[in-house]
Amino acid sequence: MQELLRIYQNLKSGRSSNFIEEEDFERIINHFDDRQELSSALEAADVGMEQFPFSAQLMFKKADLLIANRQYLEALELLDAGSLFDNNDTTFYILKTDAYLALEQPEKAAQLLEEALDLFEGDDKIELLFELSDVYDDYEDFEKVFDCLKLILEEDALNEEALLKICFWADFTGRSEESIRLHQAIIEEHPFSELAWFNLATAFQGLKLYEKAIDAYQYALAIDEKLDIAYRNMGDAYIRLRKFKEAIEALNRVLELSRPEDVIYEAIGHCYHKMGNFADARFNYRKASHLNPEDSRIYYKIAVTYCKEERWESAVKQLETAMRIHKSQPEFNLLMGECKMNQGKLKDAIQYFLNVIKIRPKNVSGYDALIRCLVKAGEYDDALFHSQKAEEHAIGSALFAYYQSGILFLQGKSKEALVQLERALRENPRLFNKLSDLVPGLLQRSQVVELLGRYMRKKKRG
């Protein structure tokens, strides 16, 4: 290269009449381009084109440099000139596509490539199809992205890049059934393609056919036992089937085969949580939090496991950590309120429940917890006010009609309470147990029993 550059410099300055081959000019241009010396690369292209004025390759080289220099119109002119000497090179179509995309003319880019497909076969056609798929992606015609990848696989069933990409696009476009047919056909011809089996599995999973998905993942893993993404997805499929033990086994294989990730530990923690093994759930949630200490949800999930064991103080500590990261998360405030209420700290609990309905004014759970807490604290007027407010927002109206009835009973306003109870029964009789939870011993009141009996007889006659 140094000798070639010396000859080039002498030629450029007129001190030498040595001849430089066309391919050597391409090497010189690439040398300057690799060193990010764009002006020198352009100059070398011009000198080369003076020596070889009919060289399409040198014109394409310069057009590529012009595109890098954002001179898109000049590049297009030069590409069209070069195509007069050689229009059977995919480089022409790819560079012209790049220029059109840079000029925000994706439709022209797509049309150019669509027309070019009929001119090429084999690897050249596949290269243009990949380019066309990128163009469709650029202007968000995602169905056609899938179509391009499908055409590539019809040309080359084991094309790894296409197999890797079509898995995502089948799911994204909702064309899982088509993906199943495509990959079943590939597997018939190439039964040892682990990517085809994997894609078949993800397509089944996209249709919620989890058992079939797991079978296909297992075939993929029989071919390549280190395909960690298959274990990951299989773990998710087992979770969907509520087969938590099997999910844990699959997810632990992911940890063995790849770098530890917080989402994997979190998923394992979720499985143990669902199995009622809260100690192991916490162990894995904590591993997740060490890898991603800013994820407040993990601390919340640890708090939930403590709540399941009625270890309120431990739950509070985890929630305090979560709320240092995201103070205004309604779920965090709701659980903190429940902890405080169970600790007998009703004033603090009320404040957390108020936070919930302030953040989400139509949150049924927030109003439910707040009213229960106010009743427990003997704040009947406030409880009645918030139950009426909740009903005004048209959220769970029957539930809050029951609560109004219960509060009125507690205030000694039996007549009004019975009117509300009758209204609540008309709206949703199945929620009556919510009232008996709020006001234990209500069924010992003869008026309530009589109303319930009358309502049930009326319902039978109806």
403, pLDDT greater than 80: yes
Q: Which residue has the higher pLDDT, 375 or 44?
A: 375
pLDDT score, position 331: 96
Helix (H) or strand (E) holding 249: helix 244-257
Tokens representing 444 are 């010992």
**C-alpha closest to that of 332 among 358, 355, 308:** 355
Segment of 56-60, 240-244, 441-445 carrying the highest mean pLDDT: 240-244
Q: What is the mean pLDDT of residues 416-438?
A: 88
* Spatial distance between the Cα atoms of 174 and 202, rounded to a whole number of angstroms: 12
pLDDT score, position 103: 87
17, pLDDT greater than 70: no
* Spatial distance between the Cα atoms of 199 and 176, rounded to a whole number of angstroms: 10
pLDDT score, position 411: 93
pLDDT tens per residue, range 82-128: 777 777 778 888 888 888 888 888 888 898 898 888 888 899 999 99
pLDDT tens per residue, range 275-299: 999 999 999 999 999 999 999 999 9
pLDDT score, position 62: 75
243, pLDDT greater than 90: yes
Q: Give the list of residues 6+ apart from residue 124 with CB closer than 8 angstroms, or none.
A: 90
**C-alpha closest to that of 44 among 35, 32, 34, 53:** 32
pLDDT tens per residue, range 307-359: 999 999 999 999 999 999 999 999 999 999 999 999 999 999 999 999 999 99
Mean pLDDT of the chain: 89
pLDDT score, position 319: 98
Segment of 72-81, 123-132, 233-242 carrying the highest mean pLDDT: 233-242
pLDDT score, position 330: 95
Q: What is the mean pLDDT of residues 210-223?
A: 98
Q: What is the mean pLDDT of residues 238-261?
A: 97
pLDDT score, position 14: 64
Q: What is the mean pLDDT of residues 1-12?
A: 71
Q: Give the list of residues 6+ apart from residue 17 with CB closer than 8 angstroms, or none.
A: 11
Q: Which residue shows structure tokens 């071919």?
A: 223
pLDDT tens per residue, range 298-310: 999 999 999 999 9
**C-alpha closest to that of 278 among 251, 320, 253, 307:** 307
Lowest mean pLDDT among 31-35, 198-202, 299-303: 31-35
* Spatial distance between the Cα atoms of 124 and 15, rounded to a whole number of angstroms: 42
pLDDT score, position 28: 75
pLDDT score, position 279: 97
Q: Which amino acid is at 396?
A: G
Taking CB atoms within 8 Å and a gap of at least 24, the contacts of 444-451 are 445/409, 445/414, 447/414, 447/418, 448/418, 448/421, 451/418, 451/421, 451/422, 451/425
Q: What is the mean pLDDT of residues 227-251?
A: 98
462, pLDDT greater than 60: no
pLDDT score, position 459: 65
pLDDT tens per residue, range 169-197: 999 999 999 999 999 999 999 999 999 99
77, pLDDT greater than 80: no
Is residue 338 within 8 A of residue 369, CB to CB? The reply is yes
